[in-house]
Amino acid sequence: MTDLKKIISHAKEYGFVFPSSEIYEGLNAVYDYAQNGVLLKNNIRDYWWKAMIQLNKNIIGIDASILMHPTTWKASGHVDAFNDPLIDNKDSKKRYRADVLIEDYCAKIESKIEKEITKASKRFGADFDKSEFIKTNKRVLDYRLKINLILNRLGKSLEKEDLKDVKLLINELGIVCPISGSKNWTEVKQFNLMFGTKLGASSESANELFLRPETAQGIFVNFLNVQKTGRMKIPFGIAQTGKAFRNEIVARQFIFRMREFEQMEMQFFVTPGQQKFWYKKWKESRLKWHLSLGMGEENYRFHDHEKLAHYADLASDIEFKFPFGFKELEGIHSRTDFDLKNHEKFSGKKLQYFDPDKKENYVPYVIETSIGLDRMFLAVFSWSLHSEKLDDGSERIVLKIPEILAPIKVAILPLIKKDGLPEYAEKIFEDLKLNYNVIYDEKDAIGRRYRRQDAQGTPFCITVDHESLIDNCVTLRYRDSMKQERVETKKIIEILGSKLNYKSWLNKI
């Protein structure tokens, strides 16, 4: 997989992601989506929205506002408990998340396991049985045990808010600051991640507000409105996408961890006692959504949580193999009735469902699926970016974005800028633009134009040449295989339709 530096520079060079307010040196962990980036982002959001709302008759969507009544965040627990443990290195003056330092330490042990596996598979060749090796090899077992012990202890200490023990663990493991290389650490402290802001003009009367750190609460406070007006029967879901803000302590890794980002969340309301069943179902269903994009089953794994958030009774992440290793892409949480019950308590309003069959009221339990749109963008972008050596010895950079998500679907290219070819190509452009985002490009030699389209992920190129004016055929070129075929101009819509319709993609879910 391409390394992160190359990904960042490609994203900038080809108009996907720019640092925010770059002329002022940028703003840490805030990014802007450029001309191609916004299209890819919109397409990912659409793909999610269709899979959630269009394909499920019991899921409906809303769009709640970013600013909410401040009591929302007391009820949700974010005022008291939305903290990360931070630690400073006194020599480099760099700030870290204490839990991430420890997790990174474990990731290093994990890579030692990977090395053992690679070594052994080379030694045993075709006879190598990976799962047996993992179960029996002493070194691998020792490494695994060590990881488990560390993560268990970390989980327990964080749960008990025993920050002294987290510091002790960092000391015992001999973790050093990646910048200064020293072990000169401060104590571990809690840090609230919410951004504050003010409502109203005068500073005395202004109300202290927060920028929402998750979109979920906009769904919970609207639960009864939606259920009643939509006449929804349990089990049912409410979905929304939108911006969220977190004052992350360490915001590295490009758009993986941002201070302003977008979430795509769905809260699924179920009868108490049924949460395990639905939790399992949504885990499966979300994984299927990911796999439908064809980005390789081996690049996903579940990570079931030991340490649960204050609202959850079960939780798992879908992790994706990013350029810096397997990391959380999506969270699936069984949130119990924590949120609705607390909103009842703080608002004094009932947030209960009336079961028409049993003739009783109850507060439903909730299964949440929550994915970061920007993280999904990074997953797609990093997986897609390839540098390939061609037969003639040259190199091509290609973004093999799943076709349904590609920003521009088709480039229409007259071979030369005269002899009626541009006019013929324009006609195709005018026709296709009604279906897809297409571009017309007549600058530079055809080979360079193909490269330009490869680099921004356009799956199809249509080239018009002199023959086209006689036989009404064009050359259709495929991005991934670089295969070219001659097709009748009038068949283009049909051919593209078979590759770019949502039906064939969503059918896999």
Which residue number is nearest to ligand ATP in terms of Cβ? 372
Q: Which is nearer to ligand ATP, 214 or 339 (CB)?
A: 214
Q: How far is the CB of 82 from ligand ATP (least distance, A)?
A: 9
Q: Indicate the DSSP class of residue 320.
A: E
Question: Cis peptide leading into 235, omega within 30 of 0?
Answer: yes
Start-to-end CA distance of the chain, whole Å, equals 26
Six-digit token pair at 60?
A: 């409906």
Can you tell me the distance from the alpha carbon of 245 to that of 42, in angstroms, rounded to the nearest whole number? 19
* Binding residues for ligand ATP (CB under 6 A): 214, 246, 248, 257-258, 261, 263, 328-331, 370-372, 374-375
Q: How far is the CB of 166 from ligand ATP (least distance, A)?
A: 16
Q: How far is the CB of 231 from ligand ATP (least distance, A)?
A: 30
Q: Which is nearer to ligand ATP, 116 or 319 (CB)?
A: 319
Q: Which is nearer to ligand ATP, 214 or 454 (CB)?
A: 214
Q: What is the 3-state secondary structure (H, E, C) of 188-242?
A: CEEEECCCEEEECCCCCCCEEEEECCCCHHHHHHCHHHHHHHCCCCCCEEEEEEE
Q: Which is nearer to ligand ATP, 328 or 442 (CB)?
A: 328
Q: Which is nearer to ligand ATP, 249 or 363 (CB)?
A: 249
Q: Which is nearer to ligand ATP, 151 or 487 (CB)?
A: 151
Q: What b/e sequence results for 387-415 when a residue is b if at least 16 CB atoms lie within 10 Å of its CB, and e otherwise? A: eeeeeeeeeebbbbbbbbbbbbbbbbbbb
Q: Which is nearer to ligand ATP, 263 or 382 (CB)?
A: 263
Q: How far is the CB of 269 from ligand ATP (least distance, A)?
A: 19
Nearest to 19 by CA among 37, 42, 44: 37
Q: How far is the CB of 21 from ligand ATP (least distance, A)?
A: 18
Q: How far is the CB of 155 from ligand ATP (least distance, A)?
A: 13
The owner of tokens 């009626």 is 420
Helix (H, G, I), strand (E, B) or coil at 404: helix
Q: How far is the CB of 10 from ligand ATP (least distance, A)?
A: 20
Q: Which is nearer to ligand ATP, 31 or 505 (CB)?
A: 31
φ/ψ of 440, rounded to 5, equals -115, 130
Q: What b/e sequence results for 244-277 when a residue is b if at least 16 CB atoms lie within 10 Å of its CB, and e otherwise? A: bbbbbbebebbbbbbbbbbbbbbbbbbbeeebee
Cβ-in-10-Å burial (0-12, 13-18, 19+) of 96 comes to buried
Cβ-in-10-Å burial (0-12, 13-18, 19+) of 77 comes to middle
Q: How far is the CB of 259 from ligand ATP (least distance, A)?
A: 7
Q: How far is the CB of 372 from ligand ATP (least distance, A)?
A: 3
Helix (H, G, I), strand (E, B) or coil at 327: strand
Q: Which is nearer to ligand ATP, 232 or 239 (CB)?
A: 239
